[in-house]
Protein backbone atom coordinates (compact mmCIF):
# COMPACT_ATOMS: atom_id res chain seq x y z
CA UNK A 1 0.00 0.00 0.00
CA UNK A 2 1.41 3.41 -0.86
CA UNK A 3 1.39 6.12 1.76
CA UNK A 4 0.63 9.64 0.61
CA UNK A 5 3.59 12.02 0.57
CA UNK A 6 4.65 15.50 -0.45
CA UNK A 7 6.44 15.79 -3.77
CA UNK A 8 10.10 16.78 -3.66
CA UNK A 9 12.27 19.02 -5.81
CA UNK A 10 15.27 17.02 -6.99
CA UNK A 11 18.07 19.26 -8.22
CA UNK A 12 21.08 18.13 -10.26
CA UNK A 13 23.88 20.64 -10.81
CA UNK A 14 27.38 20.29 -12.23
CA UNK A 15 29.85 22.02 -14.47
CA UNK A 16 28.69 21.39 -18.07
CA UNK A 17 30.27 18.23 -19.39
CA UNK A 18 30.11 16.30 -16.12
CA UNK A 19 27.34 14.06 -17.48
CA UNK A 20 24.34 15.68 -15.84
CA UNK A 21 22.16 15.62 -18.97
CA UNK A 22 22.61 11.86 -19.39
CA UNK A 23 21.86 11.25 -15.72
CA UNK A 24 18.71 13.39 -15.93
CA UNK A 25 17.49 11.46 -18.97
CA UNK A 26 18.08 8.10 -17.26
CA UNK A 27 16.23 9.26 -14.15
CA UNK A 28 13.21 10.39 -16.14
CA UNK A 29 13.17 7.12 -18.10
CA UNK A 30 13.57 4.85 -15.12
CA UNK A 31 11.99 6.54 -12.13
CA UNK A 32 8.18 6.68 -12.24
CA UNK A 33 6.63 9.69 -10.57
CA UNK A 34 9.46 12.03 -11.58
CA UNK A 35 8.83 14.86 -14.01
CA UNK A 36 11.47 17.03 -15.70
CA UNK A 37 11.19 20.77 -15.26
CA UNK A 38 11.64 22.34 -18.70
CA UNK A 39 13.45 25.67 -18.32
CA UNK A 40 12.98 28.78 -20.38
CA UNK A 41 16.14 30.18 -21.96
CA UNK A 42 17.27 32.97 -24.25
CA UNK A 43 20.21 30.95 -25.58
CA UNK A 44 20.05 29.78 -29.21
CA UNK A 45 18.83 26.25 -29.88
CA UNK A 46 21.58 23.65 -30.48
CA UNK A 47 21.31 21.05 -33.22
CA UNK A 48 19.13 18.17 -32.06
CA UNK A 49 17.32 20.21 -29.41
CA UNK A 50 13.55 20.44 -29.47
CA UNK A 51 11.61 23.49 -28.34
CA UNK A 52 9.35 22.53 -25.44
CA UNK A 53 11.26 19.34 -24.70
CA UNK A 54 14.82 20.49 -23.96
CA UNK A 55 13.98 24.11 -23.24
CA UNK A 56 11.35 26.70 -23.98
CA UNK A 57 13.38 28.91 -26.31
CA UNK A 58 12.28 32.50 -25.84
CA UNK A 59 13.60 35.91 -26.85
CA UNK A 60 14.95 38.33 -24.22
CA UNK A 61 11.73 40.41 -24.29
CA UNK A 62 9.58 37.39 -23.47
CA UNK A 63 12.03 36.30 -20.79
CA UNK A 64 11.86 39.73 -19.17
CA UNK A 65 8.08 39.53 -19.26
CA UNK A 66 8.20 36.15 -17.49
CA UNK A 67 10.41 37.67 -14.78
CA UNK A 68 8.21 40.76 -14.40
CA UNK A 69 5.04 38.70 -14.15
CA UNK A 70 6.58 36.44 -11.52
CA UNK A 71 6.11 33.44 -13.81
CA UNK A 72 9.52 32.02 -12.88
CA UNK A 73 10.31 30.14 -9.68
CA UNK A 74 13.98 31.07 -10.06
CA UNK A 75 16.15 32.50 -12.78
CA UNK A 76 19.78 33.31 -13.46
CA UNK A 77 22.24 34.45 -16.09
CA UNK A 78 24.58 31.68 -17.26
CA UNK A 79 27.14 32.22 -20.07
CA UNK A 80 25.51 35.57 -20.98
CA UNK A 81 22.11 33.95 -21.49
CA UNK A 82 19.10 33.91 -19.20
CA UNK A 83 17.67 30.68 -17.85
CA UNK A 84 14.66 30.22 -15.60
CA UNK A 85 12.18 27.69 -14.25
CA UNK A 86 8.51 28.26 -15.14
CA UNK A 87 6.54 28.15 -11.91
CA UNK A 88 3.16 26.69 -12.95
CA UNK A 89 4.25 23.24 -14.19
CA UNK A 90 6.34 22.70 -11.06
CA UNK A 91 3.52 23.65 -8.70
CA UNK A 92 1.04 21.50 -10.63
CA UNK A 93 3.33 18.45 -10.50
CA UNK A 94 4.12 18.85 -6.81
CA UNK A 95 0.50 19.25 -5.83
CA UNK A 96 -0.35 16.14 -7.85
CA UNK A 97 2.15 14.26 -5.64
CA UNK A 98 4.86 14.02 -8.29
CA UNK A 99 8.54 14.80 -7.83
CA UNK A 100 10.21 17.33 -10.11
CA UNK A 101 13.73 17.07 -11.52
CA UNK A 102 15.69 20.29 -12.12
CA UNK A 103 18.84 20.63 -14.20
CA UNK A 104 19.82 24.10 -12.98
CA UNK A 105 22.97 25.88 -11.84
CA UNK A 106 24.05 26.83 -8.31
CA UNK A 107 22.34 30.25 -8.51
CA UNK A 108 18.97 28.65 -9.22
CA UNK A 109 19.56 26.01 -6.55
CA UNK A 110 20.17 28.73 -3.95
CA UNK A 111 16.90 30.41 -4.91
CA UNK A 112 14.90 27.17 -4.69
CA UNK A 113 16.48 26.41 -1.33
CA UNK A 114 15.49 29.85 -0.01
CA UNK A 115 11.91 29.30 -1.16
CA UNK A 116 11.34 25.68 -0.23
CA UNK A 117 14.21 24.30 1.86
CA UNK A 118 12.32 21.28 3.19
CA UNK A 119 11.28 20.14 -0.28
CA UNK A 120 14.63 20.57 -2.06
CA UNK A 121 17.09 17.70 -2.40
CA UNK A 122 20.24 18.81 -4.20
CA UNK A 123 22.95 16.73 -5.85
CA UNK A 124 26.19 18.05 -7.30
CA UNK A 125 27.84 15.91 -9.98
CA UNK A 126 31.63 16.11 -10.18
CA UNK A 127 33.72 14.96 -13.13
CA UNK A 128 36.51 12.52 -12.16
CA UNK A 129 39.18 14.85 -13.60
CA UNK A 130 39.67 18.06 -15.57
CA UNK A 131 40.88 16.03 -18.56
CA UNK A 132 37.68 14.01 -18.51
CA UNK A 133 35.56 17.16 -18.42
CA UNK A 134 37.41 18.67 -21.37
CA UNK A 135 37.10 15.45 -23.35
CA UNK A 136 33.34 15.36 -22.82
CA UNK A 137 32.96 18.98 -23.86
CA UNK A 138 34.86 18.23 -27.08
CA UNK A 139 33.01 14.97 -27.83
CA UNK A 140 29.75 16.79 -27.53
CA UNK A 141 31.07 19.00 -30.34
CA UNK A 142 28.01 21.18 -30.36
CA UNK A 143 29.90 24.27 -29.32
CA UNK A 144 32.77 26.23 -30.85
CA UNK A 145 36.30 26.09 -29.38
CA UNK A 146 35.84 29.55 -27.89
CA UNK A 147 32.65 28.43 -26.12
CA UNK A 148 34.36 25.26 -24.89
CA UNK A 149 37.21 27.36 -23.45
CA UNK A 150 34.78 29.67 -21.69
CA UNK A 151 32.87 26.66 -20.31
CA UNK A 152 36.10 25.17 -18.95
CA UNK A 153 36.94 28.39 -17.14
CA UNK A 154 33.39 28.67 -15.87
CA UNK A 155 33.56 25.08 -14.61
CA UNK A 156 36.22 26.18 -12.11
CA UNK A 157 33.82 28.78 -10.75
CA UNK A 158 30.85 26.38 -10.64
CA UNK A 159 32.94 23.79 -8.81
CA UNK A 160 33.45 26.22 -5.95
CA UNK A 161 29.77 25.76 -4.99
CA UNK A 162 29.95 22.01 -4.40
CA UNK A 163 29.72 22.30 -0.62
CA UNK A 164 26.26 23.93 -0.81
CA UNK A 165 24.74 20.65 -2.02
CA UNK A 166 23.19 17.85 0.04
CA UNK A 167 24.89 15.05 -1.94
CA UNK A 168 27.99 14.76 -4.13
CA UNK A 169 28.30 12.15 -6.88
CA UNK A 170 31.58 11.66 -8.76
CA UNK A 171 30.82 10.53 -12.28
CA UNK A 172 33.60 7.98 -13.02
CA UNK A 173 31.20 5.74 -14.92
CA UNK A 174 27.67 6.70 -15.87
CA UNK A 175 26.06 3.44 -14.68
CA UNK A 176 27.55 3.77 -11.20
CA UNK A 177 26.75 7.46 -10.97
CA UNK A 178 23.18 6.74 -12.06
CA UNK A 179 22.80 4.01 -9.41
CA UNK A 180 23.99 6.50 -6.78
CA UNK A 181 21.64 9.27 -7.88
CA UNK A 182 18.77 6.78 -8.01
CA UNK A 183 19.55 5.62 -4.45
CA UNK A 184 19.47 9.22 -3.22
CA UNK A 185 16.03 9.77 -4.73
CA UNK A 186 14.68 6.46 -3.41
CA UNK A 187 15.89 7.18 0.11
CA UNK A 188 14.66 10.79 0.09
CA UNK A 189 11.22 9.58 -0.97
CA UNK A 190 11.08 7.47 2.20
CA UNK A 191 11.88 10.35 4.58
CA UNK A 192 9.34 10.46 7.38
CA UNK A 193 8.68 14.22 7.13
CA UNK A 194 7.63 13.92 3.48
CA UNK A 195 5.24 11.04 4.04
CA UNK A 196 2.16 12.96 5.02
CA UNK A 197 0.01 9.83 5.04
CA UNK A 198 2.01 8.05 7.76
CA UNK A 199 -0.02 9.24 10.74
CA UNK A 200 -3.21 7.84 9.20
CA UNK A 201 -1.43 4.67 8.17
CA UNK A 202 -0.02 4.02 11.64
CA UNK A 203 -3.35 4.89 13.29
CA UNK A 204 -5.03 2.28 11.14
CA UNK A 205 -2.32 -0.24 12.08
CA UNK A 206 -2.92 0.50 15.76
CA UNK A 207 -6.66 0.13 15.28
CA UNK A 208 -6.13 -3.25 13.64
CA UNK A 209 -3.89 -4.27 16.53
CA UNK A 210 -6.73 -3.43 18.88
CA UNK A 211 -5.23 -0.38 20.61
Which residues are at the interface with ligand 5GP (CB under 6 A)?
Answer: 16, 39, 43, 74, 76, 78, 83-85, 103-105, 107-108
How would DSSP label each residue in the chain?
Answer: -PPP----EEEEE--TTSSHHHHHHHHHHH-TTEEEPPPEE-SPPPTT--BTTTBEE--HHHHHHHHHTT-EEEEEEETTEEEEEEHHHHHHHHHTT-EEEEE--HHHHHHHHHHHGGGEEEEEEE-S-HHHHHHHHHHH--S-HHHHHHHHHHHHHHHTTGGGSSEEEE-SSHHHHHHHHHHHHHHHHT-GGG-TTHHHHHHHHHHHTT-
Closest distance to ligand 5GP from the beta carbon of 61 (Å)? 18
Residue 5 or 137: the one with the smaller Cβ distance to ligand 5GP is: 137
Closest distance to ligand 5GP from the beta carbon of 112 (Å)? 9
Closest distance to ligand 5GP from the beta carbon of 186 (Å)? 23
Residue 5 or 112: the one with the smaller Cβ distance to ligand 5GP is: 112
Closest distance to ligand 5GP from the beta carbon of 49 (Å)? 8
81 close to 41: Cβ distance less than 8 angstroms: yes
Per-residue burial over 83-98, b = 16 or more CB atoms within 10 Å of its CB, e = otherwise: bbbbbeebeebbeeee
Residue 7 or 17: the one with the smaller Cβ distance to ligand 5GP is: 17
Closest distance to ligand 5GP from the beta carbon of 24 (Å)? 9
Residue 21 or 182: the one with the smaller Cβ distance to ligand 5GP is: 21
Nearest residue to ligand 5GP, by Cβ distance, number only: 108
Closest distance to ligand 5GP from the beta carbon of 59 (Å)? 16
Residue 76 or 185: the one with the smaller Cβ distance to ligand 5GP is: 76
Residue 162 or 201: the one with the smaller Cβ distance to ligand 5GP is: 162
Amino acid sequence: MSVERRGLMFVLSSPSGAGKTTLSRLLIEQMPGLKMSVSATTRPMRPGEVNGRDYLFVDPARFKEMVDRNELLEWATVFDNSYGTPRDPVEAALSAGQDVLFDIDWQGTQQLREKARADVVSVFILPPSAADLEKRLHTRAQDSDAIIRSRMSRATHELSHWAEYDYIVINHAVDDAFAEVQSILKAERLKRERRTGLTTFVRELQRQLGN
